[in-house]
Structure 1
Amino acid sequence: MSGVTDPPPDDPGDDDFFSDIGDGDGIYTGFTQDKTTALAQTYPPGSSAEIPTSIYQYVAVINCAPNSPEQPRLEICDASVNFCLENVPDSSGPYSIIYRRTAEPDGSSPGDWSEIGRTCWTDSVPAASGSPAVELTEAMIVEQFHRTDFALPRAVIQPPDGSTLVNLPVYFQLDWPAAGFEPDEVDTTTLVGHEVRIRPTLIGATYVTGDGSSIGPTTSLGGGYPDGDVTHTYERSAEVSPHITVEYGGEVSVDGGEWTTIPSSATVAGPAAPLRVLASKNRLYDN
C-alpha cells in the first residue's frame, strides 16, 4: 500500500479552519468538520449565493499516491485510513487533500486545481459552492445491499440422474454457481464518491424437498453419501421439484475501513431440480 504524504508544515489559512490533537505533539489534522462543511457557503471574490457570477468546485483526494483530482480514489492506503481512525476517531476519513478551482455557475470553463487544505471529514467536502456534500448513509448501504447480484443456490441431489426410490434416503448438497456473489465474495461499487465493498454472509439455507417438507434453515451445505448431513426420505411415489432458499446477511467496508454488519437480510431461491420418486416392486420368480 502507498503511504500518506507529509502534511504541510504551516497552516495555509485561518487558524479556525484547523485543529491540532494529541498531548502537545502538534499532530496536524486539517479542516474541522464545521469548516469543511462551510466550504459550500464560500464563493470566489465578486460572487455570492445571491448573485453567483462564479463558483468554487471542490474535490477530496485521498492522501495516497498516485491519487489526483482527476482520480481522487484510485488508491485507498492503510496509512490514510489509520491516520484518521487513530487521531480523529469520530471522523469519516480517510485523510484527504482538499482541492479547489473556479468555474462558471453551470460548471463550465473550470480553472486549475489548487490545494487549499486537508481534512479527515472527507464525506463533508462539498462538490461546489452552494452544493452541500451528500453524505453516505446507512439507508444507502442497505439499498445497495439489496441490489447485490446474489448467487442462486443450486441443489445437487444423490442418487443422481433425476430419479430415486420410495423409502431410499436422498442426499442434498448446496452448490454455488459461478454467477453472482456467494458468501465471502466481495461486490465493490461507488456510492456518493465512496468506495463501498459489500460481502455477503450465509445466515441459513432451507432445503425444500417438494413434498411439503423442508430441512432447515441450517448453515450446513449438505453433501453426498455417506457423509452428507442433509437427507430426506420420500414416502410415496411422485414427481417433485426440490430447491434451496438462502437467507443472506452482509458486511460492508467503506473506503477501505473495517468490516461492519449490514442491518438487513435478503432471501433468494435457487432453481428447481426435478426429481422422480419411484415405487419399487418385489416379484417372486420360479427357479
Structure 2
Amino acid sequence: MLALPNYPGDGGGLIVDRAADAPRYEYASLNDCPQVHPDSPNEESTCQHALRDCPPEELGPLLRIWRRTVAGDVVLEPWDSKGLTCASDVAPGARPTLTMADLKAQFMRTPWAKPQVSSQPKGNITLVNLTTFYRVDWSTGGFAPGEVDQSVLRGIPVRIRPKLVGFTYVFGDGTTYGPTVSTGGVYPKGDITHVYRERGEFPTRVLTTFGADFSLDGTRWDPIPSTVTVPGPVTTITVREAQAVLVNH
C-alpha cells in the first residue's frame, strides 16, 4: 500500500478534524507518457513505454504520481510529479487503463493459424523401417507469425503480431521431436524425419508455441511476456509392412 500524506505537514495518517477549506493534497496517477498531464486533454492516453517498463510480477502500467495542493476550490500549488509506480491497483487517483494483463488476455484470444502435418511418401502412407519426411503448412484462416491482429482495448487501438517460438512434432507412436523452428520438408533435404517400427495408423500433429509483439502505433514493437501452445489438426499416417514377393522369370 502506498502511504502518501493527505495534508501538508502530516506523515500519511488520516486527520479528521481539519477545516473544510484547510490546505490538502490531491493526487492523480497517470500513465508515464510524454503527452500525459493532469491538466492535459490527453490525460487518459497511454504509450508503449508505460506498458513495457514494469516487471512481469507487477500489475502495471508504469504510472507517474502527480500531486497538487488545494484549499476548497482554490489551487495553492500546481500539479507536481512525485515519482513513479507500477502498483496501479493502489496508486492514488489511478483510473482504469490499458495494462499488460489486457494485452496478454487479448494475445490468448488470438485466432491462430494452425499448421497441419503432411508426410512423404505421398498420401500419408509409409512403410515400417522407412524414413518418413514431414512438413507443416499453415492454414489460410487465423493469424500466422508476422501477421497483425488489430483490436481496440479500453478504447485504445492495439496491434498484436504473433511470432513463432517453436514446433513440437508428435508422431503418434509415443515419440516427439522439438521444439524446433523448422517447418520440415520433402526428400532429400527435409530435416524432420521419423521411422516407424511397426505397422498401424498413427495420429500425427504439430504443437505450435506462439509468442507475440505488440504495438500501439504500428512503428515500435515490444514483446508480450507470455506464450501459448496451440495443437494443430491431426493427420493420420498409415504404416504398412512391405511383403517380399518371389517372381519367376
Using the alignment, how far apart are the partners of 1:218 and 1:38 within structure 2? 45
Matches within 5 A, 1:224-243: 224-243=186-205
Q: Does 1:34 align with 2:21?
A: no
Using the alignment, how far apart are the partners of 1:221 and 1:132 within structure 2? 47
Question: Following TM superposition, by how much is the alpha carbon of 1:286 offset from its aligned partner in structure 2, in angstroms?
Answer: 3.5
Matches within 5 A, 1:161-176: 161-176=123-138
Question: Following TM superposition, by how much is the alpha carbon of 1:265 offset from its aligned partner in structure 2, in angstroms?
Answer: 0.4
Using the alignment, how far apart are the partners of 2:246 and 2:217 within structure 1? 73
**From 119, 139, 163, the counterpart of 1:201:** 163
Letter in 1 for 2:104: V
Asked whether the 8 Å contact 2:118–2:124 carries over to 1, the reply is no
Q: Does 1:180 align with 2:142?
A: yes
Q: Does 1:223 align with 2:169?
A: no
Using the alignment, how far apart are the partners of 1:256 and 1:229 within structure 2? 35
Question: Following TM superposition, by how much is the alpha carbon of 1:255 offset from its aligned partner in structure 2, in angstroms?
Answer: 3.1
Question: Following TM superposition, by how much is the alpha carbon of 1:161 offset from its aligned partner in structure 2, in angstroms?
Answer: 1.4
Using the alignment, how far apart are the partners of 2:42 and 2:248 within structure 1? 99
Question: Following TM superposition, by how much is the alpha carbon of 1:256 offset from its aligned partner in structure 2, in angstroms?
Answer: 3.3
Letter in 2 for 1:263: P
Using the alignment, how far apart are the partners of 1:229 and 1:38 within structure 2? 53
Matches within 5 A, 1:59-70: none
Question: Following TM superposition, by how much is the alpha carbon of 1:183 offset from its aligned partner in structure 2, in angstroms?
Answer: 0.5
Question: Following TM superposition, by how much is the alpha carbon of 1:37 offset from its aligned partner in structure 2, in angstroms?
Answer: 8.5
Matches within 5 A, 1:1-287: 33-36=37-40, 133-287=95-249
C-alpha distance 149-210 of structure 1, shift in aligned 2 (>3 A): same
CA shift digits 1:203-247 (9 cap, x unpaired): 000110011111111000101111100000111111111111100
Letter in 1 for 2:107: F
Q: TM-score, normalised by structure 2?
A: 0.64
Letter in 1 for 2:208: V
CA shift digits 1:61-119 (9 cap, x unpaired): xxxxxxxxxxxxxxxxxxxx9xx99xxxxxx9xxxxxxxxxxxxxxxxxxxxxxxxxxx
Asked whether the 8 Å contact 2:215–2:222 carries over to 1, the reply is yes
Q: Which runs of 5+ in 1 are unaligned?
A: 1-28, 40-58, 61-80, 86-91, 93-130
Quick one: percent identity of the two aligned structures? Answer: 39
Question: Following TM superposition, by how much is the alpha carbon of 1:133 offset from its aligned partner in structure 2, in angstroms?
Answer: 4.8
Using the alignment, how far apart are the partners of 2:185 and 2:244 within structure 1? 30
Using the alignment, how far apart are the partners of 1:255 and 1:286 within structure 2? 75
Q: Classify the secondary structure of the residue corresponding to 2:106.
A: helix
C-alpha distance 38-201 of structure 1, shift in aligned 2 (>3 A): closer
Q: Classify the secondary structure of the residue corresponding to 2:238.
A: strand
C-alpha distance 182-33 of structure 1, shift in aligned 2 (>3 A): same
Count of aligned pairs between the two proteins: 174
Q: Identify, as 1 or 2, the structure richer in helix.
A: 1
Asked whether the 8 Å contact 1:210–1:240 carries over to 2, the reply is yes
Letter in 2 for 1:173: R
C-alpha distance 38-215 of structure 1, shift in aligned 2 (>3 A): closer
Q: Which runs of 5+ in 2 are unaligned?
A: 1-33, 50-60, 62-92
